[in-house]
Each structure stands twice: as C-alpha cells, then as structure tokens.
Structure 1
Amino acid sequence: MDAKPLLVAVDFSQLTPRTIRYAVRLAQGQGALVDLLHVMLGSLPAHAQANAPAEVLAKIRQGEEISALRALQGLMQTEVPEACRGRILLRRGPPADTICTVATEAYEMVVVSTHGRTGLSQILIGSVAERVVRHAPIPVLVVRGAGDPGDPIPD
C-alpha cells in the first residue's frame, strides 16, 4: 500500500466504532492503512499525584496503559479489516495537542469524533475535535453521532 495511513483518534466513547468504520471506508478506497491512537490523561487528581510514592504512580500508569492497549487491540481486531490494519499508538498528554503532534508523522488525514457539546460546556470543557480541526497540519474528518443534526445552515 503506497497511500499514507489514516490516523483515527480513539476516546473509547460510544462513537468510537462508528468513527473507525468511517476511516476504514476511506482507507479501503485509497488502499491505505488505519492507525488507532488513544491519548491518555493523568488519572489521579494533582494532590494525589503529588503525595503518592513514585512506584505506586508507576504501577497505576502501567495498569492504565495495559488496559488501554488491550482495548485498542480489541478495536483493531473487531473494527478494522486485516488488510487495513496499521499501528496502535498510545500517548500521554493534552489530547488535541498530542493528536496534532502525531498527525505530523506522515498521515493522510486525522479522523475524530465529536460529542456535539454546545454552549457553556463547549466554552468550559473545550472540544478536542474543534482544536484538532483548527490546529492539525493535515485534513481532519469529524464524525458526528447518528442522531446529531448539527447546526442549521445559515441563510
């Protein structure tokens, strides 16, 4: 396969399988591979991280990584046909920034899902998908939920 792979950012939400299926359809049409990326945040509150022994933190992180890798492997096996299977990537950091950084590694496109946040939650929480769209160095496909009508088209 000579085409650049597609990078699918996976958050393990209900939209994850749908997002992967969109990427697979595109990859099959281009003869490309699908790489799955999950970005992990620190799971413990800052005060717990500051007070916990380093070996305890390391074991917690290792357990999280093993769990995430198993979930990614399961998704790769169930959602991506063998001919399209690429790499499984696990990173730590701010999700949008990390996705954009990984996207610089010779990918054709980033595929992400959105949860359709609007209003105050959009302002307070921010949207990973929106930040990726704004800052990614390559095209981004945003996959919406099946019932998400999106914003109306202005006149």
Structure 2
Amino acid sequence: MYTDILIPTDGSDNVEPAVQYGLDLAGRYDATVHALHIVDSSPIERKLELTALEIDLETLPDTWYDAGDAATQQIATRAAEHGLEAVTEVRRGFPAREIRSYITDTGIDLVCMGTRGHSGLDRFLLGSVTTRIVRTVDIPVLSVKSKLTEALSESEKRGGFEDILVPTDGSKPAREAVTHALDLARTYDATLHALYVVDRGAYASRPGWTWDELQQVLEQNGDTVVEDVQSRAAADGVSVAAEITHGVPHQAIGEYCDQHGIDLIVMGTHGRSGISRRLIGSVTERVLRNSDEPVLTIRGV
C-alpha cells in the first residue's frame, strides 16, 4: 500500500516519534524512506516583501544547510541499519509549500510528521506546517505528537501498532479510511476497532424530527456501517471489535482510545458532507488537536 514514505525533519527532538513510526512503516511495507529538510526562508522572504532590501536567498548561511544535511543523513543512516533504501534532500523555501512540491515531484504516498504536542497555542494549531499538509495534500498523513524520549511507551519506541481504531460514519472518506486501517491491521497483526458514534449534535440539524426518531435512524445506520467493517475484516482475516456509542464524536473517540489502549487512529478527513479542501473536517480536526495517539488522516476524493 505504501512504497515511498516521507519524513520531514527539522532536526529537533520533536520529530523523533514520527521518525520511529516512519521507519517502522517503511520496514513493514518495504518502502523507500525519504528524509526531507526545509531551510525555512519564510521569515526573511516575508520581511523582504515589506522593505526595499534585496537579499540573495542563495547566500543563506551554510550552517543552515549543514544542519539539514545532518538531520536527513541521520534518518538515512537509521534506515540503512534496517536494510531500507533512503533518499535525502535539503530544500529552501516555505516549509509546507516545499513539502507539497516534494510529494508531487517524487510520488510520495505517505507522510509521517511530528507535531508539537498540545500545550498552549499548539493545542489549537497542531503545528502550522503539519496542519497545512493535512489540509492540502491528497495522500495519507500520519500526525504524531512530540514527546520526550523517556516519556515514550515501549510500543511508541518500537513504532508498531497493536490496536487500531477507525471511527466511521459510512461516508466515502470513512470507507477509504477503513481500507487503510484494514491493511495496516493485517500488516501489523493488530486488532481493528470500528467505532460508530450516534451524534447527539445531529438533532439540532434535523428540524421536525423527534430525538427518538432520529436516534433510531442513526442507530440503524450504525449497525449497517459496523457490520460492513466486520464483513470486510473477516474477508481479510483481521481481528475486529465493533461498538456503537452515543455522545459527542471527538469526545467519544478519545474515551474509547483510553478504555481500549488504542495506539493508532485512522480517520477520513471529510465526514458526512463535502467540506472545503482547506478544512480538515470538524471531528477529525478535534481528534488531531486532542489525541495523544498518532492519527492517520485519509483524504476522501
């Protein structure tokens, strides 16, 4: 399913969990690892837009490029230790723009990116580069929260998955997410958890319905959706657990993760209706903000 995996790196400890997962995924799928560093010229370029100064961006300090070479080579060395092919590159420019360009140029089919955790503003911004990539690329993106190395669990240090959650509402993006989740569960010999949330908030958008009427319809849809996942899992020889619960979707997803030791969430990025390319989708965005688990987002096309 994945043949070329991109790991953008700034050389900081923030990206270490994403590197771990990226290397493990590459090993499982025999994929090529692409380590990419962007020399961020955006602050300088933005200032130049407001002044009459002319600066040759090609003359940026060599140390900036040296740091990128060191960061990407470190990933390449670790990939080689696992018998994996690796490609390194250092580019200059606006990070999100250059990452998207690299994805297009090289045929990347999975991106593993670190985020800055969720304290202060980062809880709402995710890390602006990661957010922009999730919102604007058409390939799967694995977003991994930054943690101190000593705070990583054993599974996080290994980079593997044992319990994979796929929240689903039966929409096309959600079904595509199920496809990826099934493949990952089969590859890792993991248990797949299918979760359907009867959304209490849906009542407000259905004037003329009683809650009992709407709840019955939603529960029936949930039965159909989780039965479909169970059927697909059985056909693929994947162990599956399914549950229908009630509540606010992103909160119910978080509670389920805590209760069942989930170590990967796989989600479509649109949900029930077509949402602007520039938006993630409200449920997925809230999960990305609040989840401690890695989140693999699959864009519905």
TM band (smaller chain): 0.7 to 0.9
The offset of 1:51, in angstroms, is: 6.3
Q: Name the amino acid aligned to 1:65.
A: Y
Q: Name the amino acid aligned to 1:154.
A: Q
**C-alpha separation between the residues in 1 aligned to 2:69 and 2:52?**
23
**Residue aligning to 1:21:** 20
- Larger Rg computed on CA atoms: 2
Gaps of 5+ in 2: 153-248, 253-301
**Residue aligning to 1:73:** 73
Question: Percent same amino acid at aligned positions?
Answer: 27
**C-alpha separation between the residues in 1 aligned to 2:80 and 2:142?**
20
The offset of 1:39, in angstroms, is: 1.1
Structure ranking higher on relative contact order (CA contacts 8 Å, 6+ apart):
1
**Residue aligning to 1:154:** 251
The alignment partner of 2:99 has SS state of: helix
Aligned pairs for 1:92-111 within 5 A = 92-104=92-104, 105-111=106-112
**Residue aligning to 1:61:** 61
Is the Cα–Cα contact under 8 Å of residues 17 and 75 in structure 1 kept in the other structure? no
The offset of 1:118, in angstroms, is: 6.2
Q: Closer, same or farther in 2 for the Cα pair 1:33/1:123, shift >3 Å?
A: same
Gaps of 5+ in 1: none
Is the Cα–Cα contact under 8 Å of residues 8 and 37 in structure 1 kept in the other structure? yes
Q: Deviations over 1:94-151 (max 9, x none)?
A: 1112112211221120110101356656778961111111111211001112469xxx
TM-score, with structure 1 as normaliser: 0.75
Q: Name the amino acid aligned to 2:17.
A: R
**Residue aligning to 1:39:** 38
Q: Deviations over 1:61-107 (max 9, x none)?
A: 33321332123213322x32342131101111111121122112211
Q: Closer, same or farther in 2 for the Cα pair 1:75/1:126, shift >3 Å?
A: closer
**C-alpha separation between the residues in 2 aligned to 1:17 and 1:124?**
20
Greater shift, 61-70 or 16-25, is seen at 61-70
Q: Name the amino acid aligned to 1:103.
A: I
**Residue aligning to 1:84:** 84
Structure 2 residue 53 is matched with structure 1 residue 50: yes
Aligned length: 147
Q: CA RMSD in A?
A: 3.3
